[in-house]
A = this chain, B = another copy of it.
């Protein structure tokens, strides 16, 4: 199995590391930035180019791991040199059909995880979401999906089929539980910092918050002043937040309202 990865960002980097670990041949990297592309060539000890005319056409799959906004541009350039090869992107928010005008066989392979260069990724626990379509008449429609599933299974044992129409739901859910949760941690740090309290004291509480939902529904383990309808405490908190960015106050109010609504309690 030979793979070409397009991109030199966090996703291409971690996918590359994982494929190499699984003895998949990293046939070539294609990058935009010359320095990064050279670095990838050294790190992965393989061919890497910024020149689309030097693209190797003998890979089994081409995985576009670039910013959402660059996917179509890259696809257009790739389509000049490729023909029947399977081409996928890795985006959580772009439908796989953006590749349809350019390739006969296309799909997506979306690893649901937050990637930073500095943080190792435990791929055994990263769900991979795939879909694939084909205009090829000589092959059964399932062929490329089965093929993509084989590739996804080399990355992780958790592979799900994700049709394009559900992609956005998954991505929005991920934004809430990952990006927004991290921002709540940032707010917690800001408040403790400003009051000379160590942020570290909040970490066991954060861990317990996550542990609780391992076996119980978030709704069932909701606690706090809003859940209890403790207006006295909420008023004090809103008053306290007046010295902070106005968004904190807005978030406090909206969360309290949302918690009351979801728990189907009186506001």
> Which residues from 178 to 217 on chain A have a C-beta closer than 8 Å to any C-beta of chain B?
178-192, 194-198, 201-214, 216-217
Report if A152 contacts B (CB, 8 A). Answer: no
Asked if A125 is at the interface of the complex by the 8 Å CB criterion, the answer is yes
Number of A positions contacting B (CB below 8 A): 94
Which B residues are CB-close (under 8 A) to A248?
176, 258
Please give, as numbers and ranges, the residues of chain B lying within 8 Å of A208 by CB-CB distance.
Answer: 113-114, 119, 121, 178
Q: In the complex this chain forms, how many copies of it are found?
A: 2
- Of B180, B188, B195, B230, the residue contacting A177 (CB under 8 A) is B188
Whether the Cβ atoms of B223 and A179 lie closer than 8 Å is: yes
- Is there a chain B Cβ closer than 8 Å to A112's Cβ? yes
In the complex, which residues 138-192 of chain A have their Cβ closer than 8 Å to any Cβ of chain B? 158, 160, 166, 168-192
Main secondary structure of the interface of A (DSSP, over half): helix
Compute how far the CA of A93 lies from the CA of B184 in the bound complex, rounded to whole angstroms.
20
Contact A257 B247 (CB under 8 A): yes
Q: A residues near B, CB below 8 A?
A: 67-69, 93, 112-114, 116, 118-119, 121-122, 125-127, 158, 160, 166, 168-192, 194-198, 201-214, 216-219, 221-228, 230, 232-233, 236-237, 240-241, 245, 247-248, 250-252, 254-255, 257-259, 261-262
Known contacts A68-B230, A180-B251, then 11 further A-B pairs from the complex at CB < 8 Å, ordered by chain A residue? A93-B237, A116-B221, A116-B223, A119-B216, A121-B208, A169-B192, A169-B195, A172-B191, A182-B209, A206-B213, A245-B262
